[in-house]
Amino acid sequence: MSDIKIQSIAIIGKQNNPLYIKNFSVFHPDLKYHYIAHTSCDVIDERVGAAGPEAADTYLGLLYAMEDLDVYGYVTNTRVKFVVVLSVTNPVKNTVMKNLFKKIHNVYINQVCNPFYNLDGKKSIVSKRFVAAIDAIGITPSDDDVSP
């Protein structure tokens, strides 16, 4: 299942402010993924709202597909949103996406654990460690724990 190609990873704050958006693609400019991340907020809000306050699953699945890009969403308990954009390939297994999001979530948790990080701030995350970790996820979507 390593044929998924991550185009972009976006972390969006609970007030729908971008925290970190990384473009792994060479075909589209950053702006495109900023737009995608921004438009995803609506779909995520709708999904979360539809699922009700007690929804257990943080993985929201495919948000939408536009042109050659598929947008997947994930929301943490603190309403921080993760958006992953894939280029259209083959059908994607839920577990693969869930694992991918789990990894992003872990990276984010590590960031939040920094006592000097302002949780409510609207500034983008600039931590080098965080950036490196997200890059690692984006460039090599490993599938150690996925058995096809």
Chain residues in the site for other proteins (CB under 8 A):
15-18, 21, 30-31, 34-35, 38-39, 41-43, 46-47, 50, 57, 60-67, 70, 86, 88, 90-96, 122
CA 40 to chain centre: 10
d(CA 148, CA 135): 24
Q: How far is the CB of 77 from other proteins (least distance, A)?
A: 19
CA 138 to chain centre: 10
Task: Using the minimum distance from each CB to other proteins, give the nearer residue, 122 or 129.
Answer: 122
Element (H, E) at 51: helix 30-51
How far are the Cα atoms of 56, 87, 135, 141 from residue 126, in angstroms, in the given order? 30, 26, 13, 22
Q: How far is the CB of 58 from other proteins (least distance, A)?
A: 12
Task: Using the minimum distance from each CB to other proteins, give the nearer residue, 85 or 133.
Answer: 85
Q: How far is the CB of 140 from other proteins (least distance, A)?
A: 21
